[in-house]
Amino acid sequence: MEADIIIIGGGAAGLMAAYGAAERSRGAKVLVLEKMPRPGRKIMITGKGRCNFTNVKSWNDFSPHIRTNQGFIRAAFRNLTPENLIHFFGEHGLQTIIERGDRAYPSTYHASDVVDTLESAATKAGASILKDREVQSVRELSGGGFNLSCAGGETFTCKKLVIATGGLSYPATGSTGDGYDWAENMGHTVKTCFPSLTALVPDGYKTLPERMPRGSQKGHIDRSMPMSDWGKSLCGCSLKNVEVTAFAGQNVLQREFGDIDFTDGGIEGPIGFKLSRNCVKGLINGNKISLLIDLKPAVPKEELESRISSLSGLPAKVLLQKLLPSELIAGFTASNPQLFKGKLLNTKALSDALKAWKLDIAGFVGYERCVVTAGGVDTDEVVAKTMQSKITYGLYFCGEVLDVDCDTGGYNLHCAFATGLLAGQSAAK
Ligand SMILES: Cc1cc2nc3c(=O)[nH]c(=O)nc-3n(C[C@H](O)[C@H](O)[C@H](O)COP(=O)(O)OP(=O)(O)OC[C@H]3O[C@@H](n4cnc5c(N)ncnc54)[C@H](O)[C@@H]3O)c2cc1C
């Protein structure tokens, strides 16, 4: 089959690219090839099924949440600001609700409504979305254009090609990193990929086999690995308003203030995720990563010591309950054996541990459950104003396949939509 523009991948970026290309070209044949039976499978699981699709901040406040290549995103952001995106959804019948932290959600709180709206906007503009079409190979034609082969033998040719295949996280949604190989085959550099916005696994939290499975990425601890008794004692605990400092060896990597959650994966929650990018990178590079948790950041050490000594007549359990959430006590004391001499609580050691609870990090949960893939197609080789390859004429990239990743809060989806729209519109020119 022949088309003017083909978009591989019907995720956030691909569906928006299809809309942009069809709406801008008026009459060009625009096809989306999506490998799954339904497009937008990953969108369906975003924001716990509610889809935090953008964040209504100005560029100056938005851009610090882009962790790599901020400058590359600026033109795409200008072309599709958060307000423009909200307007787009509104025009297509989906209203928005803004929550704490400027996070925008569909007013129905159903991620499926975002997918349906995108699909309908793209098809109404004239694009066709072909499902169950897994592209297996991409070949550049000598006279210009591209030839694609799908599983099952079907082939396609097109003049312009948009690669919107996403990253590697949650492969069951269809994102299995296929675009990276094609990019490399067409001369692009792919920056090393690694999981980000993921759980960090403290040493001893999981019961690990003596040997990790063959081919595992360094530091990867699969989410399905069983928890140790200590892990089970912490799992389900949430720490509010703590300060966490991440170290690589003796060097401070990053410091964050906020909330963390202990889950079946390890340490997650808003600041667990914020720290994960640098910690995962450090672990992959062979650094010794540890976290120091200050459970009482608002209380100076001396004040805490005198408070504890004023309570020192109390039985240990009662004293600990006055200082810690009761569900945390078992896990906290198990990882701080220095707190007890026999049955006696060492109050000095307690104030030290409350101000600096040290957890060595053994590894991280990988692509099976991370939110986003860091790394990807080198943005230096892509024109920021058009998303076109600087190496291959007629080739465009958008979304998570690019070396762009952000914090949680709607930033990742916004970047996918903005780069997708720009790629589609540029391909239609
Ligand atoms: C659990 C979870 C929650 C998240 N929550 C949020 C959130 O609330 N807010 C936010 O901003 N971000 C969130 N994200 C991140 C966000 O979902 C992604 O950054 C975004 O979906 C990337 O869009 P994309 O279009 O580039 O890739 P994807 O959405 O991954 O889409 C890629 C598409 O390409 C298709 N494809 C891949 N290979 C082929 C092939 N060979 N042939 C044909 N089709 C192919 C895939 O099937 C897929 O449909 C979340 C991610 C996860 C995993």
Going from N- to C-terminal start, the domains of the chain cover: 2-195+375-428, 198-370
Q: How far is the CA of 402 from the centre of ligand 1 (A)?
A: 12
User: What is the tally of helices (H) and strands (E) in the chain?
Assistant: 14, 20
Q: How far is the CA of 189 from the centre of ligand 1 (A)?
A: 21
Q: How far is the CA of 20 from the centre of ligand 1 (A)?
A: 18
Are the C-beta atoms of residues 138 and 181 closer than 8 Å to each other? no
Pairwise CA distance, residues 36 & 49, whole Å: 18
Six token digits for residue 205: 């939290």
Pairwise CA distance, residues 35 & 133, whole Å: 4
**Per-residue model confidence (pLDDT) at position 404:** 98
Are the C-beta atoms of residues 5 and 160 closer than 8 Å to each other? yes
Pairwise CA distance, residues 73 & 233, whole Å: 43
Atom 30, ligand 1: residue with shortest CA distance: 166
Query: Beta 103-106 vs 128-130: how paired, if at all?
Result: unpaired
Report the amino acid identity of residue 177. Answer: G
Q: What are phi and psi of 121, to 5 degrees?
A: -65, -40
What atom of ligand 1 comes closest to residue 134's alpha carbon? Answer: 42
**Per-residue model confidence (pLDDT) at position 205:** 98
What atom of ligand 1 comes closest to residue 54's alpha carbon? Answer: 11
What atom of ligand 1 comes closest to residue 173's alpha carbon? Answer: 47
Q: How far is the CA of 156 from the centre of ligand 1 (A)?
A: 23
Contact 174 CB / ligand 1 (< 6 Å): yes
Gap between the terminal Cα atoms of the chain: 22
pLDDT tens track for 126-182:
999 999 999 999 999 999 999 999 999 999 999 999 999 999 999 999 999 999 999
Q: What is the DSSP letter of 264?
A: S
Name residues of the chain where pLDDT drops below 70: none
**Per-residue model confidence (pLDDT) at position 344:** 82
Contact 165 CB / ligand 1 (< 6 Å): yes
Pairwise CA distance, residues 296 & 307, whole Å: 12
Nearest to 227 by CA among 236, 218, 219: 236
Q: How far is the CA of 282 from the centre of ligand 1 (A)?
A: 25
Report the amino acid identity of residue 9. Answer: G
Contact 219 CB / ligand 1 (< 6 Å): no
Contact 119 CB / ligand 1 (< 6 Å): no
Q: How far is the CA of 247 from the centre of ligand 1 (A)?
A: 31
Pairwise CA distance, residues 153 & 136, whole Å: 9
Burial of 120 (0-12, 13-18, 19+ CB in 10 A): middle
Q: Find where tokens 């699709």 sit.
A: 53
pLDDT tens track for 69-111:
999 999 999 999 999 999 999 999 999 999 999 999 999 999 9
Report the amino acid identity of residue 233. Answer: S
Pairwise CA distance, residues 183 & 397, whole Å: 9
Q: How far is the CA of 312 from the centre of ligand 1 (A)?
A: 54
Q: How far is the CA of 11 from the centre of ligand 1 (A)?
A: 6
Contact 9 CB / ligand 1 (< 6 Å): yes
Contact 409 CB / ligand 1 (< 6 Å): no
Contact 197 CB / ligand 1 (< 6 Å): no
Burial of 91 (0-12, 13-18, 19+ CB in 10 A): exposed
Instruction: Report in angstroms the alpha-carbon separations of 289 from 262, 279, 295, 370.
Output: 18, 7, 19, 19
Q: How far is the CA of 49 from the centre of ligand 1 (A)?
A: 13
pTM exceeds cut of 0.85: yes
Q: Find where tokens 């033998």 sit.
A: 153
Q: What is the CATH number of domain 2-195+375-428?
A: 3.50.50.60
